[in-house]
Amino acid sequence: MDRRYFGTDGIRGRVGEYPITADFVLKLGWAAGRVLGDRPGSGQVLIGKDTRLSNYMFESALEAGLSAAGVNIQLLGPMPTPAIAYLTRTLRANAGIVISASHNSHQDNGIKFFSADGFKLDDEAELAIEAHLERPLETVDSAALGKASRLMDAPGRYIEFCKHTLAPGLGLHGLTLVVDCANGAGYQVAPAVFEELGARVIRRGTRPDGLNINVDCGSTCPAGLQHAVLEAGADAGIALDGDGDRLIMVDERGHTLDGDQLLWVIARSRQRAGRLSGPVVGTQMSNLGLELALDGLGVAFHRARVGDRYVLEMLQAHHGQLGGESSGHIVCLDRTTTGDGVVSALQVLAAAVEQNASLSQVADGMDKLPQHMINVPIARGSNPMNDPRVTAAVRDVEGVLGSAGRVLLRPSGTEPVLRVMVEGEDAGSVRAHAEALASQVAGLCQPQARASSGD
């Protein structure tokens, strides 16, 4: 069945524009309570949030809706998305709800759910919630209304969990780290994790005001972190996004390491220690350099659709433990159930500590190949990938690139464009092939194409 509200990561949109409105979120809370409240568990639903100003409104709306459905609520306050997943599982809650729009600005917001096992809701549950949203809201008897309480030790519980994802006795003593929390959900807990493991922490992006989440800081804007690392002579920089599930790092030379490079560090470290199980999973957008580097180690690499949800599904299907996206969503299934920026950073730092090496040294061995992507506007509902002229043009470019390059045509999930991406060894030829291919596609799909990103 087609979803009306749920996307690949919950429900998201502009604050004040349907469905991200107070009345809809109240109804959503009621619908979720009706569907999830009767599932096995403690009878409670947890609510966490990031630092957006609008979260005061949406937290209250969810609380009211859940109460009307007769479900008890525990409020966690500002906490990273992966912390909600962890606490939902360990507290035996029926479900966890996160109010966040991740790496977006404060004008956006969203609602996402975790089931009792700490994984994102399955299709059946999401469709059941959508079905209840079409029904009239019916409040339970006043004696059966849900109660709300606040879990005061939520930050401490999550901090201890993160610390214990390192091997016993392994610490970060002697390291200087710049930790950028994007003025988001990790601003309290993330620096504390690294400090309690022995590192000297320089804090950045830890003064949220409700409006500055992800503004000139965090994983989507690492330039300030690069400068801070060099200025302090730090060993590494750690950049989270607004809800703490993405990670970008900066090495001691001031060079950024994206999700593909961090995945390489963790995978090679575990493979060397004999602790890598199953294939590594990336996405269609993962750099070919990662695939080639892993192949050199004899490690299988699978590509899922773009989205951490699909990475997780493929990991489970192939009994893997490690996967992620270029954007910094990294899933370590032997540690937790979802992408976690803090936990992922700890796995990278552990690799450096265990090898007595710098971050740049443990990241060595994977060479990113140049990529160039162009967005080609297309008519809604059209599929130029089925046009034999397009498939022939793609085959021609693939023939020239050979095994050292690839072509990807992917429709956007949010706008009427076809993303044309070419990847190969030489940046100039990659750009030329991408522009030529995009021009051919654009000739079949008026209006003209527009370039969207560089190498």
* Strand residues in 176-235 grouped as ranges (E): 176-180, 200-204
Mapping DSSP to helix (H, G, I), strand (E, B) and coil, where does residue 254 land? coil
CA distance linking residue 183 with residue 376, whole number of Å: 34
Active site residue 102: yes
Chain centroid offset of residue 68 CA: 32
Measured CA to CA in angstroms, residue 408 lies from 287, 326, 394 at distances of: 11, 15, 9
DSSP letter for each residue of 344-406: HHHHHHHHHHHHT--HHHHHTT--PPPEEEEEEE--TT--GGG-HHHHHHHHHHHHHHGGG-E
Determine contact, residues 284/350, Cβ cutoff 8 Å. Answer: no
Determine contact, residues 315/281, Cβ cutoff 8 Å. Answer: yes
Q: Long-range CB contacts (< 8 A, 24+ apart) of 433-438?
A: 433/397, 433/400, 433/401, 433/407, 434/372, 434/373, 434/374, 435/372, 435/374, 436/397, 437/393, 437/394, 437/397, 437/407, 438/374, 438/376
CA distance linking residue 212 with residue 50, whole number of Å: 12
CA distance linking residue 63 with residue 33, whole number of Å: 10
Catalytic residue among 102, 115, 219, 344: 102
Buried-state track 419-445, b at ≥16 Cβ within 10 A, e below 16:
bbbbbbeeeebbbebbbebbebbbeeb
Q: What are the catalytic residues?
A: 102
